[in-house]
Amino acid sequence: MSETKTITATALVNAMREKQYARIAELLTAEGEEVLQTKGAQLVFPAVDAEGNDQFIRVTVEVPKGSRDGTPYDGYAEAEAYKAEQAEKAEKKAEVDRKKAEKEAKKATPKE
């Protein structure tokens, strides 16, 4: 009789995370970046900002599990929520900018 090995959910997640981590590190290294591992699934690489200051970019690879009530993580839903949030912020900013421009225009208009 053959014995079937069962892979745990944790082992599956760990394997997926490790595979994607290696893939990201390989892509960055191929682009000439110096990739440094700082934690199990976290890497950093040096970068220079627009003013020539040395900085680091940190990338963390994680596999979200979802909520404690058993609802699985939905990346599509999170992306849509983020998109809507950004659109709302842009709308509010546009309104603030419009009011500011109206106020400035009012100040610039000579009084009679």
**Tokens coding 9:** 């959910």
Q: pLDDT, tens digit, for every residue of 45-72?
A: 999 999 999 999 999 999 999 889 989 9
Check residue 88 and give its pLDDT. Answer: 97
Q: Where are the domains of the chain?
A: 7-65, 72-112
Q: How confident is the model at residue 3 (pLDDT cuts 50, 70, 90)?
A: low
Q: What's the average model confidence in pLDDT over 12-32?
A: 97
- The answer to whether residue 2 scores a pLDDT higher than 70 is no
Check residue 112 and give its pLDDT. Answer: 63
What is the torsional sign of CA 94, 98, 99, 100?
positive
Identify whether the C-beta of residue 54 lies closer than 8 Å to the C-beta of residue 46.
yes
Contact residues for 36 (Cβ-Cβ < 8 A; gap 6+):
43, 44, 45
Closest CA to 15 of 41, 50, 54, 46: 41
Amino acid in position 33: E
Check residue 106 and give its pLDDT. Answer: 85
Rounded distance between C-alpha atoms, residue 6 and residue 8, angstroms: 6
Q: How many CA atoms lie within 13 A of 4 on its CB side?
A: 2
